[in-house]
Amino acid sequence: MIRTGLILALLAAAAPALAQVKGAWVVRYSLTSPQSVRKIAEQSARAGITDLFVQFYARGEAYYDSRIAPRAPVVSRDFDPLKLMAGECKSRGIRLHAWINVYFVWSSDQKPRSRDHAYYRGPRWFAADASGRSLRDYSQWELARNNLEGVYLSPASAEVKSYIRSLAQEIVLKYDVDGIHLDYVRYGHIDFSYDPSSRLGFYQAYTVDPVRFFDGDPRLKPYWNTWYLWRLHQITELVAWMKADIAKTSPWVRLSAAVKPDPDEARLGFGQDWPGWLANGWLDFAVLMNYSSDTKTVVRLAQKAYRYKGRGEVYIGLGAWRDSPEGIVEKTRQLRRLGMGDVVLFSYDGLAERKIDLREVRQMGF
């Protein structure tokens, strides 16, 4: 059986006609023991992987020694996954990007154990629907019915912005990382933006309560586009501030984000203006979550994204956890032929769990 390291090696060692497999995402499940961390770094180095995007903050819990967020219960007190991974990557010449989930903070009907968890903060911290109901009060069934992964924080909350900035700075100042990688840096959906922080913030700026848009008052119609742009700005402001924070203390650390692959959908549906972030230098690079198993779809979205990227860098994230080896190779070939950027695989863990045997890939041009 070919293990994950060889899977990555076969892809990374592609002929010059192929785009480079630049890196892989590593989900937090693989960080529960020193042995697992060392294995990830060792296999990635053998594969020629240059960048690892490793999840160290997710569901409001830290997979490192944090004074801000509670430690994930599955990580023992005498083990710091981030510290070990940073050392293992540095010794092997691999760039380590600390992956943090920004607004998505919980996804279970069972509440977090630690009272220090963001879940227990005040109502201004959480996104809410148009009736003002907080996502924290939704059941998992209700969240799923609304196509939400879980509970989201409010991008308009000043406290939330401060909290996320503090997490990033804690990592950058304490650990030898090469990047901060943002995930879920968006609304769960832009319709879930009627929380107290958003309503008050918009009212203070324009003396209009956003919930009044549903009253049908024609006098408020001109404000609708302003409301849309105001919501985009809440997330953009956080990204810009995080870039400035990093530039002040650790200018060599790069800021990146995993983003919706269709830039129009990202902005209109989720308030995620990643083309604007790239254009203004607030983001060093974006990684498209271009996970379709259909090659034509992947290529179409990649081409569209490249038209928007401006002066920034765009990498293509492929859904390797559910695609066939042939599919991964074909997509990589097509992207390279079109002059697209490097590839990031989601995910190291997904490949390992599927126990994919890629010996046949040797017959496909490697």
Mean pLDDT of the 27-54 span: 92
Task: Give the least confident one: 118-127, 132-141, 215-224, 239-248.
Answer: 215-224
Continuous segment of H or E residues that includes residue 331 = helix 325-337
Task: Give the least confident one: 65-69, 214-218, 340-344.
Answer: 340-344
Per-residue pLDDT, 18: 42
- Residue 158: give its domain's CATH number: 3.20.20.80
Q: Examine residue 293 and state whether it is found in any structural domain, yes or no.
A: yes
Task: Give the least confident one: 29-43, 132-146, 162-176, 324-338.
Answer: 324-338
Instruction: Report the candidate in 271, 323, 272 with the shortest Cα–Cα distance to residue 297.
Output: 323
Per-residue pLDDT, 366: 34
User: How many domains does the chain fold into?
Assistant: 1
Per-residue pLDDT, 70: 97
Q: Examine residue 331 and state whether it is found in any structural domain, yes or no.
A: no
Q: In angstroms, what CA-CA distances link 94 with 43, 44, 89, 217, 304?
A: 11, 8, 5, 57, 30
The answer, yes or no, to whether residue 333 has pLDDT greater than 90, is no
Q: In angstroms, what CA-CA distances link 300 with 99, 290, 305?
A: 27, 10, 9
Residue 316, domain extent? 23-323
Q: Examine residue 356 and state whether it is found in any structural domain, yes or no.
A: no
Respond yes or no on whether the N-terminal peptide bond of residue 292 is cis (omega within 30° of 0).
no
Cβ–Cβ < 8 Å for 2, 9: no
Per-residue pLDDT, 17: 42
Q: Examine residue 1 and state whether it is found in any structural domain, yes or no.
A: no
Q: Examine residue 60 and state whether it is found in any structural domain, yes or no.
A: yes
Q: Examine residue 228 and state whether it is found in any structural domain, yes or no.
A: yes
| 13-22 confidence digits (pLDDT tens) | 544 444 467 8
| 106-141 confidence digits (pLDDT tens) | 999 999 999 999 999 988 999 999 999 999 999 999
Roughly what angle, to the nearest 10 degrees, separates helices 81-92 and 34-47?
Answer: 30
91: tokens are 């010794």
pLDDT-derived band at 358 (thresholds 50, 70, 90) equals very low
The amino acid sitting at 223 is Y
Q: Examine residue 303 and state whether it is found in any structural domain, yes or no.
A: yes
Mean pLDDT of the 278-292 span: 95
User: Angle at CA 173, nearest 5°, toward 172 and 176?
Assistant: 65
Average pLDDT, the chain: 90
